[in-house]
């Protein structure tokens, strides 16, 4: 038995109530990142919308995270159906893009935020993926520098006790930067769990 016009059949949830998959959430994140790369939303809004997309349980939640964005990138007019088919978002990064993203993350080991920022303003003009990952790496290394300054000040105030934090801080920096590079090299849009996004 089917429902009346505009109503689902008894026992069948409406389309917006259907649960979404991880692939659909990831596609929504790609769409948001493309919108950011095009200048349609700022970094603060990007972070907020991505959090909403990743926490989405059904298509209504996902549609809310994509609200207000133009549908000029091959998306259907119904935003809830825009995330039904995995792969309908931005193109998969090429091997060259993934390589530059890897360099942007790992170059911080020797240059901190300098080379990642240079990659963002040069190669980033050719690829939104490279630009996004390079700025992410630059901001992470800038945050690392700030954290070291803070620990240094704390060390002076605590007569050397706070200096014990330098070792775990260095360890976390190395691990996250290594993981970030490998993730970007695999074509993933890596975001550091602890970052201060001032650049980009």
Stated pTM of the model: 0.57
Tell whether 115 and 73 lie within a shared domain. Answer: no
Our CA angle for 56, 57, 60, nearest 5°, is 75
User: Which residue's entry shows tokens 């989405």?
Assistant: 56
Q: Which residues contact 187 (CB under 8 A, 6 or more apart)?
A: 92, 93, 98
- The tally of domains found in the chain comes to 2
pLDDT band at residue 44, thresholds of 50, 70 and 90? confident
By residue range, what is the domain housing residue 22? Answer: 15-83
Q: Which of 50, 83, 116 is the C-terminal boundary of a domain? A: 83
What is the C-alpha separation between 89 and 53, in angstroms, rounded? 14
Tell whether 135 and 175 lie within a shared domain. Answer: yes
Flag whether 152 is in a domain. Answer: yes
Flag whether 130 is in a domain. Answer: yes
Tell whether 70 and 102 lie within a shared domain. Answer: no
Over residues 77-91, the pLDDT tens digits come to: 344 343 433 333 456
Crossing angle of helices 22-37 and 43-54, in 10° steps, is 170
Tell whether 103 and 178 lie within a shared domain. Answer: yes
């Amino acid at each position: 038995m089917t429902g009346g016009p505009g109503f689902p059949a008894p026992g069948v949830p409406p389309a917006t109530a259907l649960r979404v998959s991880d692939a659909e959430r990831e596609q929504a994140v790609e769409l948001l990142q493309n919108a950011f790369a095009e200048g349609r939303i700022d970094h603060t809004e990007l972070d907020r919308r991505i959090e909403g997309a990743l926490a989405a349980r059904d298509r209504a939640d996902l549609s809310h995270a994509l609200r207000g964005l133009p549908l000029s990138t091959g998306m259907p007019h119904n935003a809830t159906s825009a995330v039904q088919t995995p792969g309908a978002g931005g193109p998969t990064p090429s091997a060259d893009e993934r390589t530059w993203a890897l360099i942007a993350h790992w170059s911080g080991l020797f240059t901190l935020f300098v080379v990642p920022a240079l990659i963002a303003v040069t190669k980033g003009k050719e690829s939104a993926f490279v630009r996004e990952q390079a700025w992410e790496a630059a901001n992470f290394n800038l945050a690392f520098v700030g954290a070291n300054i803070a620990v240094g000040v704390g060390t002076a105030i605590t007569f050397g006790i706070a200096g014990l934090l330098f070792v775990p801080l260095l360890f976390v920096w190395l691990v996250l930067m290594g993981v970030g590079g490998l993730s970007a090299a695999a074509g993933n849009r890596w975001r550091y769990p602890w970052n201060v996004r001032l650049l980009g």
